[in-house]
Amino acid sequence: MKRKLIQQIDYDMKNRLPEKRYIHTQGVAFIAAALAMRYGYNIKDAQIAGLLHDCAKYMGDEKLITICNLSGINLSDVELNNPYLLHGKVGALIAAEEYTIKDDNILNAIRYHTTGKPEMNLLEKIIFIADYIEPSRKKIPGLDEIRQSAFIDMDQTVFMILSNTISYLKDENEKEIDPVTVEALNYYTIERSK
């Protein structure tokens, strides 16, 4: 059953996403499966979340906001000012409605793959990390260390990614930082000190 669903989602993403994003999506699904094997999670569920994580990426700002409003999804000021952050929330909605996915682990992994959040469960961490380290990701400072860490210590890896992300956003003066990302960094900073 899940194998057919994975094939259907892969086919749909190939036709829905630009080629470069589709390659990224395949990379995320591949790394998600590898991390699932490493940490003992359901491989097919990791693949499904990886394939769907960016399914709403190219909808356009107004459409993302409209879908959220029509679906009763609360939007923060940061999200309204930076609608690209909404593709995770809308992606989870698409996963539930178009692919009848009911598993909250998969839906939340899609929902939080960009911002992260405090106390992520295993699949949320897998997709958050896989999105950052997949093979076609452009080279950024610290990426090699983060890739190595991903297969050793997930919480350390999440911390490294959140730190890099916030540093990048601070360097880009026009980019706002989602408060959920800051909360996640604070949480994983404390977890590392335990």
> Domains plus CATH for the chain?
1-192 (1.10.3210.10)
For the entire predicted model, the pTM comes to: 0.96
Average pLDDT per consecutive 10 residues, the chain (194 residues; last block may be shorter): 95 97 98 98 98 96 97 94 95 97 98 97 98 93 95 97 91 81 95 82
Residue 122 has a CB neighbour count (10 Å cut-off) of 17
Residue 13 has a CB neighbour count (10 Å cut-off) of 19
pLDDT value of residue 193: 81
Which segments of the chain does DSSP mark as H helices, in order? 2-16, 19-39, 43-52, 61-71, 77-81, 87-98, 104-111, 122-133, 143-150, 154-171, 179-193
pLDDT value of residue 140: 87
